[in-house]
Structure 1
């Protein structure tokens, strides 16, 4: 990446591979202010961000609010469900925070004009920085979910000590702190420069536009700063989490197969109670494997695009044009947004207890007591034995 090409790329759902050229490095007659035509492939982003995205975000708010309401009911509380609720909240906020930008600029058609000066800072904060924090948290909470399930399945004795609600809450707080720290520099590395510009709609008028300019400490170390930030994101926000999830999902699937064989042995021994508990454990694991699988399906493409884009900028390879990157990123972001409400339907389709609790939210029936629910998970261990651990409620 040379010093004349300064790029910003976020991996949040609202991220786009956008190019901001420092106002001090460009010809003012070429680009006198910041406008969306330079930031988005408007042929695709206009309809998606203006009409489809707000509907999907509204659906995400409804479904994820219901998920949180169900999972945090007293009889449903467990380490796994607390993590699932945290993921639902993070995904919801990733979509909700940039919603004002979607509505004002894309739904209302203001994207044709230069970015007004009063919107420059909100755009930067609401569309890029804050959603990236929540999306980063969601990624690592998903990793935590897979790790926790792996411990339950393959290290069941340690699960009693390690996988507790207080520990999950502590881990969630740590994830959010690290996610915020990973973005601190992005709140401080720019400044908004007001600029009077001729209207893009009516050339006889002028408007108060703006530039988003790198602060001197960032501009003077642009190559090193950008490479450190973006390669850090590629490695620790994409590569490490996604690779870990692929490995953990593989281990969980292998454990499920072993558990199925063990269950058949228990049925032959007429141990129906143990067999039932093992089936419940497998159903829970299968549901979590589906959740992680959906996550990988939509996150991998964005990670690949970001890796290509940063590599392209770092080594000046010219692999794809900026328009191609913009289109690929917009489509990838759209599918990530589309995935957010789907976890609700996975829970409804694969968890009887979730469905029953969800129904009771609306039919007026009292919730079951904690003691009435499954308090133990049947987990396979070494030597072909079965160990009962708790208090993990079977979702």
Structure 2
């Protein structure tokens, strides 16, 4: 009787992993160039604003993620020697541990900066009492720096649960490792030997990584961003309704006193602000689109009574 599979994704994973290295490398190279251009443009004198400072913070986090991912994906997915035990050295295992930690840290920074961006824009659109704080360049820079300092500390427990483990693997004389299921095919033809390779393992008996990463770093930001996005859209619609009502009621008086030019300038500025808000809303919505599937998988891992089976058959097959 065939065993039941939770997620029949093994074939998908095996097919996709052949192109993932080249695809991710392409994304990282072009993404790094694009983020450098973003930073250069947003740093110009005429572009200085709290919103653009937050966008710079986001661009820096994304740039660091992509630059760090390039050596990782080359070594893991593109290097032709990845099927040899010499590929799994102790220095590379240390790099993998650093990679696992720093990518979570930088992703968390991007999440919280996106939330800050939404809060800042909401206070601008709705003109609440905190608008004075959120319109201050100094306060914005302090908040960005605090985010970059706090996230590594918040994620440090995840660094502690990654450990480097030496593993004796069956290999051919040239160092090419052999899958355990294929050992009987080779042992009568080759002098197989055991060689040491170093791998990074997650020692997490209490599922700390799932709770901290999936819940705190994924689910909470998505819930906050959903609420803030709704608030921004509501405030934007209400502001536009009031503006149209005011323009309609005062149009005759403005024409009588010849004040149409100043009002036209003000209207242009408000339309520019609306366009900026709509652009930032697109950023928030795109962020939610990319994060929600990960949240669903994470919640499935937290709530699943199947534990390791769900992790092995579903979570890892979608890990790339």
TM-score by length of 2: 0.79
| Counterpart in the other structure of 2:69 | 98
Change in CA separation of 1:157 and 1:44 when aligned onto 2, cut-off 3 Å: same
Q: Which consecutive residues of structure 1, in runs of 5 or more, have no partner in the other structure?
A: 1-37, 331-395
Alignment of 1:45-84 (within 5 A): 45-48=17-20, 50-84=21-55
1:155 aligns with 2:143: no
1:125 aligns with 2:98: yes
1:237 aligns with 2:188: no
How far the C-alpha of 1:107 sits from its partner, in A, is: 1.4
How far the C-alpha of 1:141 sits from its partner, in A, is: 0.2
How far the C-alpha of 1:125 sits from its partner, in A, is: 1.3
How far the C-alpha of 1:46 sits from its partner, in A, is: 3.0
**1: CA distance between counterparts of 2:30 and 2:123?**
33
**2: CA distance between counterparts of 1:129 and 1:321?**
19
**Larger RCO: 1 or 2 (CA < 8 Å, sep 6+):** 1
Spell out, residue by residue over 1:81-122, the C-alpha distance to the aligned partner (whole angstroms, 9 max, x if none): 000111111112122212112112311234434551232111
> Per the alignment, in what secondary structure is the counterpart of residue 223 of structure 1?
coil
Change in CA separation of 1:141 and 1:93 when aligned onto 2, cut-off 3 Å: same
1:145 aligns with 2:145: no
Change in CA separation of 1:149 and 1:213 when aligned onto 2, cut-off 3 Å: closer
Larger Rg: 2
**1: CA distance between counterparts of 2:71 and 2:191?**
27
1:326 aligns with 2:316: yes
Change in CA separation of 1:203 and 1:109 when aligned onto 2, cut-off 3 Å: farther
For the 8 Å contact 1:197–1:207, the answer to whether it is kept is: yes
1:260 aligns with 2:233: no
How far the C-alpha of 1:196 sits from its partner, in A, is: 4.2
Spell out, residue by residue over 1:349-395, the C-alpha distance to the aligned partner (whole angstroms, 9 max, x if none): xxxxxxxxxxxxxxxxxxxxxxxxxxxxxxxxxxxxxxxxxxxxxxx
Spell out, residue by residue over 1:283-322, the C-alpha distance to the aligned partner (whole angstroms, 9 max, x if none): 111011000000000011111111212333xx33677472
How far the C-alpha of 1:241 sits from its partner, in A, is: 1.0
**2: CA distance between counterparts of 1:234 and 1:213?**
18
| Counterpart in the other structure of 1:208 | 196
| Counterpart in the other structure of 1:372 | none
For the 8 Å contact 2:170–2:192, the answer to whether it is kept is: yes
TM-score by length of 1: 0.65
**2: CA distance between counterparts of 1:167 and 1:298?**
29
| Counterpart in the other structure of 1:223 | 205
Change in CA separation of 1:129 and 1:317 when aligned onto 2, cut-off 3 Å: closer
**2: CA distance between counterparts of 1:153 and 1:237?**
27
Change in CA separation of 1:288 and 1:195 when aligned onto 2, cut-off 3 Å: same
Change in CA separation of 1:42 and 1:179 when aligned onto 2, cut-off 3 Å: farther
**1: CA distance between counterparts of 2:211 and 2:77?**
31
For the 8 Å contact 2:61–2:110, the answer to whether it is kept is: yes
**Structure with the bigger percentage of helix:** 2
> Per the alignment, in what secondary structure is the counterpart of residue 198 of structure 1?
strand
RMSD: 2.6
1:86 aligns with 2:78: no
**1: CA distance between counterparts of 2:29 and 2:199?**
31
How far the C-alpha of 1:279 sits from its partner, in A, is: 1.1
How far the C-alpha of 1:159 sits from its partner, in A, is: 1.4
**2: CA distance between counterparts of 1:183 and 1:110?**
32
1:273 aligns with 2:265: yes
